[in-house]
Chain A
Amino acid sequence: EPEVTQTPSHQVTQMGQEVILRCVPISNHLYFYWYRQILGQKVEFLVSFYNNEISEKSEIFDDQFSVERPDGSNFTLKIRSTKLEDSAMYFCASSPDRFTDTQYFGPGTRLTVL
């Protein structure tokens, strides 16, 4: 069964450094998402992406965040200058089309900012 994959599984970085989290959505899916889960807190929506542009973003998704689909398979989340409070589990998800709102999640990337 097709799966969403994410790399790396764990990323440790110094405060102020840039990080790129990578996701490979399910191949025939058209909608892509990033969520984050700070330890002990709810899973929070960050951004949705369709047709090479952002569809919707939350207030969390400020100017330090960006998303990109650099090729036909990868979907990336970049954090330009990491802060301690960016430490969280980041989940990528994808869904086939606008009529199917089931989202399929990857295993997550645990980001630790020191």
Chain B
Amino acid sequence: AQSVTQLDSHVSVSEGTPVLLRCNYSSSYSPSLFWYVQHPNKGLQLLLKYTSAATLVKGINGFEAEFKKSETSFHLTKPSAHMSDAAEYFCVVSDQGYSSASKIIFGSGTRLSIRP
């Protein structure tokens, strides 16, 4: 069965410094992995997706994530945080193509705060 663990419930960084949001997963099959972002009072926006093409995935707003199979990790990074990055970030896993409709599993979320 799939599962996903976000290791930090809250991360706080200063504006202009790097961001690291950690995610570990387990999956019985070849997983698809996603990061979604949820700004206050907004819906869930897809940041990026991994589907076994390239292990380093680039997303929107300067975010990227690296798939490391040996570590079962899919950490989200950004070189320089911006105030507008303050939001809740969800790591998500999905079994790829084995069911008629993929059920995706959300991590518990990491709240990212940016200090001026």
Q: Which residues of the other chain, A, contact B101 by a CB distance below 8 angstroms?
A: 31, 33, 48-50, 55-56, 95, 98
Does B100 count as interface, using CB distance less than 8 angstroms? yes
Decide: B97 and A101 in contact? CB cutoff 8 A. yes
Count of chain A residues with a beta carbon within 8 Å of a chain B beta carbon: 26
Decide: A98 and B100 in contact? CB cutoff 8 A. yes
Partner of A45, one of B32, B49, B95, B103: B103
Q: Beyond A102-B34, A102-B49, A104-B46, is A45–B105 a contact (Cβ under 8 Å)?
A: yes
Decide: B106 and A101 in contact? CB cutoff 8 A. no
Partner of A43, one of B49, B90, B99: B90
> Which residue of A is nearest B96, CB measured?
A101
Does B27 count as interface, using CB distance less than 8 angstroms? no
Decide: B90 and A101 in contact? CB cutoff 8 A. no
Does B116 count as interface, using CB distance less than 8 angstroms? no
Decide: A55 and B97 in contact? CB cutoff 8 A. no
Count of chain B residues with a beta carbon within 8 Å of a chain A beta carbon: 25
Q: Beyond A48-B103, A55-B101, A107-B43, is A101–B94 a contact (Cβ under 8 Å)?
A: yes
Decide: B100 and A50 in contact? CB cutoff 8 A. yes
Q: Which residues of the other chain, B, contact A50 by a CB distance below 8 angstroms?
A: 100-101
In Å, the complex CA distance between A43 and B99 comes to 20
A91 nearest CB across to chain B (Å)? 6
Decide: B106 and A105 in contact? CB cutoff 8 A. no
- The interface of chain B, by Cβ under 8 A from chain A, is 32, 34, 36, 42-46, 49, 90, 94-97, 99-109
For this complex, 29 residue pairs linking A to B, each with C-beta atoms less than 8 Å apart, are A31-B102, A35-B106, A41-B108, A42-B106, A42-B108, A42-B109, A43-B44, A43-B109, A44-B106, A45-B103, A45-B104, A45-B105, A48-B101, A48-B102, A48-B103, A50-B101, A55-B100, A55-B101, A56-B99, A91-B44, A95-B101, A98-B101, A101-B96, A101-B102, A101-B104, A105-B44, A105-B45, A106-B43, A108-B43
- The interface of chain A, by Cβ under 8 A from chain B, is 6, 31, 33, 35, 41-45, 48-50, 55-56, 91, 95, 98-99, 101-108
